[in-house]
Structure 1
Amino acid sequence: MSETETPHEAGDLPKALAVPRKRWQLPLVWLVPILALLLGGWLAVQAVLKQGPTIHIEFQTGEGLVAGKTHIKYKDVDVGMVSDVAIAPDRKSVIVTAKLSGQARDFAVEDTRFWVVKPRIAGGSVSGLDTLLSGAFIGVDVGKSDVSQTEFKGLEVPPMLIDGVPGKRFQLRAENLGSIDYGVPVYFRKLAVGQVVAYDLDKDGKGALVTIFVSAPYDRFVTEDTRFWSSSGLDFSVDANGLRFNTESLSTLLVGGLVFGSPSGTAAPPAKSGAQFVLYDNQQTAMREHDTQVELYRLVFHQTVHGLVVGAPVEFRGIQFGEVASIGLSYDASTQRVDVPVVIRVFPERLQRYTVDPETKSDAILDKLIESGLRAQLRSGSLLTGQLYVAFDFFPGVAKAVLKRKRGMPEIPTVDGSLNELEASITSIARKIDKIPFEEISKDLRSAIASLDSTVKQADILLKQVNQDVAPELKRTLAGAQQTMQRAERLMSQDAPLQQDLRDTLREVSRAAASMRSLTDYLDRHPEALIRGRTPDEDKP
């Protein structure tokens, strides 16, 4: 190396080495806060996810509802909490604000129903008794709609039926509601198969509409020809057929009930859900044959019709083919007589089924029957109630008559009822009784009674004399007879002398009889002994 070269130039200088840059490390003291932050964030997200929508429910009153305490329950599971209870702006109701849980997020749809669960008595059943201790809560029935909604109007009465229960709903139309209430049972063959779920007035206000629910599988027994009737308490009726008493079950005596059934011999298809039926007052009216053809006839009676009412049956030999439609009065100026015209409804279909030709007109049938003596007559349907009914029958020997028309209505001839004949007989008997001389009979009777009284007095005197005179002698005679019997008893005793003498006498008689028997035997062998006597040799044996 020359003098002019430097050490650096000589190549012996150290080389620089590249050192890797150190990474930044988080101190362990920050690990705990970070984990806490992450956990808090996760809990916050979960809380947001679990929180459902806020809804508003309108109720008539806020009875039993407390903010922060009243729960919303679905099938006894908490799905929300009431957060506020406030009066509505119009002061007619209260607005309940509630927050639903996340699992109830889908509950906020337009057909969801809310109601307050508290102790209630309806339809003979008691519900909500558990709220006496735990307090009221809001029940919910989830709807099936896809339209979201947060404003609801709460039900004042809990729904009798929760959606999803298999069965069918039907509507019954009645003239009045009677004793029907929510939850009233519906019976089929005395088995509870449903209940009343709603009722309201008809649109025109002339009747009531009752909505019932029949559970499956019993809903298949509701057919298009099914009849519904009310069985509220005691079915008690009095008519021309007598006294009727019927009840469906013991519970109907308290809360009533509805019953349905079908006439025998029908096979109609099952009714569709929502079908409407008529609700009758009783089973008799419900099961009555529904006739499509009705004809009016006029009857004129010349007697009292006390006991005949509108709706009374019209029968022919026990078969009903009509009913009484109206009862009135008419004055005939020519005869100056007041008659009672009775209009009856006749159902031709019931008559035609008994004719050979179904196309035969009713008037033609009646013309022939009247010529044969057919007449209408009032008869007693029940001696207990005094109700009358109209009976058609043949009366031989009655005056001839024809079917005539008055005031545009056919008039059928009548005859006096059996009650009139009975009254006439009673009147005749009363007149005969009136002719009986009761005064003379009473005088003779009094005389006979006086004579009998005298005879009784004489008999009493005679008995007294017998008691005084004859009785002592009779006592003495009886005493003597008793003594005689005692003596006879002593004589007949075994150790009496008479008995000993009698036994000795009988022994002597026995010996004599034996001697006579021996003599008889000897003479039988030696008859010559009667002449020459007995020889000594014969004495030897």
Structure 2
Amino acid sequence: MRRPGGRIGRIPPMTDPNSTAEPASPVIRRRRGLPLIWLVPLVAALIGGWLAWRTLNERGPTITITFDTAEGLEPGKTRVRYRDVDVGTVQGVAVSPDLSNVIVTVRMVKGAASYLNDRTSFWVVKPRLGFGGVSGLGTLVSGAYIGMDPGTGNGEALTAFRGLEEPPLIRSSSPGRRFALRADRLGGLGPGAPIYYRGIQVGEVVGYEFSQDWQSLTIPVFIHAPYDRIVRPNTRFWNASGLSVSIGPEGPTVALESLQSLATGGVSFETPGLGGPGDGGEIAAEGTAFPLYESRNAASDARFTRRVPFLVHFDGSVRGLHPGSAVEFRGIRVGEVTDIRLDVDPVTGEARIPVTLNIEPERLGSDLPAAHDTETAYARMRVLVEQGLRAQLRTGNLLTGELIVTLDLFSDAPKETLISGGPYPELPSQPNVLDTATKTATDLMNELARAPIAETVVELRSTIQKAGALIGSPEIAQAIGSLSRSLAELEKTTQALGSEGEPTIRALRDVAENTSKLVRQAEKTLSSTDGLVNSSRPAVSDLQGLVRELTAAARSIRGLTDYLERHPEALIRGKRG
């Protein structure tokens, strides 16, 4: 028989209820194994272990980021994002042991370890206002977060990073290449300054740093693709910051690359021969360093690579001449001044000013074979000196008083030659026009200072006094009286012409002859006194005018006499028409 819920076993035999025999003893048996109730915690433990293993397996690396401040960062809330995707969470924020900054602990997602190297950068994204515009406005609603630019390449793996205070200008994923510019001064440039090619922005200035000797600057720049292919080994960069003002024959010219370059500075570049027959297509390697010129003109002059030094001694003042002043040949720039010194002879005390010039022989044309070697350039210059080539100081700018050194041929210059034996060959000099005029004026003043001016003044006064005495002398008064009497007689003769014919003509001839004699006598008198009355010009002028009038009167009388001889009837009938 089977008992419900029990086990199948042997059934004891039936007994009489009225029997006095003792009942049989029960048999107790123990079960083997765990009860089914223990399966529940066992399954729960297995599930918990699996979840823990999965959590540990999916957990990313823990890193630390050092910032100056923890503004806007909250543990458990602030995220680390790359392209707006969460790649980590801030776990804690603590002050560094030296209290100089804060250390932010971040738990990154799984798989982020391959991007955490020495090229990875972090920064806090928050609202910023700069010359490039406004950024981070979205954080006004969502709150600040940490931006990440993962490192690429085979960098050294790191777990501790130094956070940036400003977002990087160029992300590692931006296509293009980096180059370096070298300059003696920054010239208004700064991070984010634009780089232009033919007026189009093609890159930015990344930053700047001093060289190890603190004498120059290295300016990293980034050129975006595809414009980075324009950069060749012969590319020239120049500073395009601010305004460029020049004055030429057509008037002032103002050049401005852009308004942004006026505010933040800028750089422009060009590649000579790009796309031309001489363009080999060689693209500059990434990281190539180029010199940064101060202006476009300086960059253009960079094609003249050969410079030959010369020495010139000037005796006069060189005020307005300085290193960098132009050296010109008939108005064309052929070099520049590199050094100015003062040389005083301790024995004689004579002072001379040696000026060192750098001549660029390539500027002098193809007829000067100086592009081959320096000795050839010196030989050609020696021939020009023998033909009259001289160095002379001239004014380059009347407003500023700047001087320049000019080279020109002087046909009347004394024969000289290129002087050798010093550190550089010496060109003979020619005094400038101002020094020559000053010397001439000085010599004239010295001559005037040595002239007997006092004695001359005394003699002049004596001459004036003698002239005055001569004018008031009896001879002049007698001559004037004779002239008056002659005029009176002439008037009487004219009145008597109507009644006397031939006698009148003879009388007129006599009067004319007397008048001529009187005029000659007056001329002799005036001629003898001409040297004494130079200072009495008004009186002499009056006397000369009187003599001219008397001469004209005598000429008229002579003409009247001749006419009456031919026509005596004119005394009665008058002159015919």
Partner of 1:473: none
Partner of 1:75: 83
Aligned residue identity for 1:386:
G
2:430 counterpart (415, 425, 437): 415
Change (3 A) 1:148 1:238: same
Does the CA contact (< 8 Å) of 1:228 and 1:277 recur in 2? yes
2:99 counterpart (91, 112, 123): 91
Structure 2: how far apart are the matches of 1:244 and 1:331? 44
Check if 1:253 corresponds to 2:266. no
Check if 1:194 corresponds to 2:209. no
Aligned residue identity for 1:135:
G
Structure 2: how far apart are the matches of 1:343 and 1:52? 68
Does the CA contact (< 8 Å) of 1:121 and 1:127 recur in 2? yes
Change (3 A) 1:150 1:339: closer
1:101: Cα distance to partner? 3.4
1:381 partner SS: strand
Q: % of aligned pairs identical?
A: 42
2:389 counterpart (361, 374, 380): 374
Partner of 1:386: 401
Structure with the larger RCO, 1 or 2 (CA within 8 Å, 6+ apart)? 1
1:285 counterpart (298, 306, 321): 298
1:188: Cα distance to partner? 1.3
1:436-515 matches, cutoff 5 A: none
Structure 2: how far apart are the matches of 1:286 and 1:49? 60
Which is further off, 400-409 or 105-114? 105-114
Structure 1: how far apart are the matches of 2:141 and 2:172? 28
Check if 1:165 corresponds to 2:174. yes
1:361 partner SS: helix
Aligned residue identity for 2:137:
L
Aligned residue identity for 2:342:
L
1:285 partner SS: helix
1:272: Cα distance to partner? 0.3
1:195: Cα distance to partner? 0.8
1:164: Cα distance to partner? 2.1
Structure 1: how far apart are the matches of 2:139 and 2:440? 75
Partner of 2:339: 326
1:320: Cα distance to partner? 2.6
1:405 partner SS: coil
1:226 counterpart (220, 235, 248): 235
1:362 partner SS: helix
Change (3 A) 1:108 1:299: closer
Check if 1:270 corresponds to 2:283. yes
Aligned residue identity for 2:257:
E
Change (3 A) 1:195 1:395: same
1:59-208 matches, cutoff 5 A: 59-102=67-110, 104=112, 106-109=114-117, 111-122=119-130, 124-144=132-152, 145=154, 149-208=158-217
1:301 counterpart (296, 314, 334): 314
Partner of 1:217: 226
Change (3 A) 1:259 1:300: same
Aligned residue identity for 2:356:
V
1:426: Cα distance to partner? 8.5
1:356: Cα distance to partner? 6.0
Aligned residue identity for 2:295:
N
Structure 2: how far apart are the matches of 1:222 and 1:38? 64
1:404 partner SS: coil
Aligned residue identity for 2:214:
G
Does the CA contact (< 8 Å) of 2:119 and 2:155 recur in 1? no
Aligned residue identity for 2:203:
G
Deviation per CA, 1:411-460: give whole Å up to 9, x if none.
211222234456679989999xxx9xxxxxxxxxxxxxxxxxxxxxxxxx
Deviation per CA, 1:464-489: give whole Å up to 9, x if none.
xxxxxxxxxxxxxxxxxxxxxxxxxx
Change (3 A) 1:174 1:123: farther
1:365 partner SS: helix
Structure 2: how far apart are the matches of 1:257 and 1:38? 66
Change (3 A) 1:334 1:146: closer
Partner of 1:448: none
Check if 1:339 corresponds to 2:352. yes
1:258: Cα distance to partner? 1.7
Aligned residue identity for 2:62:
T
Deviation per CA, 1:353-398: give whole Å up to 9, x if none.
3236856722321222122111111222233333221111111222
Deviation per CA, 1:96-128: give whole Å up to 9, x if none.
112233475654455432211223345544432
1:267: Cα distance to partner? 3.4
Structure 2: how far apart are the matches of 1:147 and 1:293? 45
1:50: Cα distance to partner? 5.7
Structure 2 spans left out of the alignment, 5+ residues:
1-40, 447-452, 454-577
1:165 partner SS: coil
Partner of 1:313: 326
Partner of 1:58: 66
Structure 1: how far apart are the matches of 2:204 and 2:337? 36
1:217: Cα distance to partner? 0.8
2:229 partner SS: helix
Structure 1: how far apart are the matches of 2:240 and 2:214? 24
1:251: Cα distance to partner? 0.9
Does the CA contact (< 8 Å) of 1:115 and 1:140 recur in 2? yes
2:208 partner SS: strand
Structure 2: how far apart are the matches of 1:304 and 1:187? 44
Deviation per CA, 1:112-154: give whole Å up to 9, x if none.
3221122334554443233344332100112234875433332
Q: Size of the alignment, in residue pairs?
A: 402
Change (3 A) 1:253 1:356: closer
TM-score, reference length from structure 1: 0.64
Partner of 2:470: none
Aligned residue identity for 1:64:
G
Structure 2: how far apart are the matches of 1:102 and 1:114? 18
**What CA RMSD, in Å, does the superposition of the two structures yield over aligned residues?**
4.1
Does the CA contact (< 8 Å) of 1:379 and 1:391 recur in 2? yes
Structure 1: how far apart are the matches of 2:359 and 2:295? 22
Does the CA contact (< 8 Å) of 2:193 and 2:261 recur in 1? no
Does the CA contact (< 8 Å) of 1:122 and 1:182 recur in 2? no
2:192 partner SS: coil
1:337: Cα distance to partner? 4.7
1:73: Cα distance to partner? 0.9
Structure 2: how far apart are the matches of 1:429 and 1:129? 81
Check if 1:353 corresponds to 2:361. no
Structure 2: how far apart are the matches of 1:121 and 1:273? 32
Does the CA contact (< 8 Å) of 2:369 and 2:377 recur in 1? no
Partner of 2:379: 364
Structure 1 spans left out of the alignment, 5+ residues:
1-32, 436-541
Structure 1: how far apart are the matches of 2:118 and 2:439? 78
1:80: Cα distance to partner? 2.1
